[in-house]
Amino acid sequence: MTETSIPQDPALAAAVLEIENHIAELGWDQPARLYALVETARIVAQEPDLAAQMGLDAASAEGSFTPVEQEALPPQQALEVTLESIAWPGDVAGCAAVVERLVLPPEVDAEIPEDPGEAERFAREHPLRQEVRIVAGATRAGATYCALRLRAHDDDQSVVDGTELVPGLLDLLRSTLEGDAQ
């Protein structure tokens, strides 16, 4: 099932879906991950040996991004906190993050405790919880794209994708790209 919103940037949508597919092959219970999105044409021009190893050429490079996975994120720190301290260099055209979360249906919002630790425990133990994997991406040009996969519906046809599915995470990703692009 796919959301009907049309991507502002088809290259970003393709990169997010590529990352989602790659992570899906690894299975669930994965740590959060962060990717730099580099214009593939830049890699082909500046790093021809690397591009050749990756199977990239000038024809495949036009209008696409290559996701470059970053070092492992601190396991003791939430992805959202980590993103607050990240700034990308100018040659990074965009970024994407992968994170697994528990979600609850809106009808239980009033029952969620105020204390963050208690809220987490409440979500982990609630019978209506759903596990979701979120892949969210943003570009310096302001485009965004997301892909969501529920553990309960773990197949490629059930991935939900669209431009503004996780606004809070997208805002954090966009903030990491602010500043002068070179």
- pLDDT tens over the chain, length 182 residues: 444 466 678 999 999 999 999 999 999 999 999 999 998 887 777 777 766 676 666 556 567 899 999 998 888 888 989 999 999 999 999 999 999 999 898 899 899 999 988 988 999 899 999 999 999 999 999 999 999 999 999 999 999 999 989 999 999 999 999 865 44
pTM of the shown model: 0.85
**How many Cβ atoms are within 10 Å of 43's Cβ, its own excluded?**
20
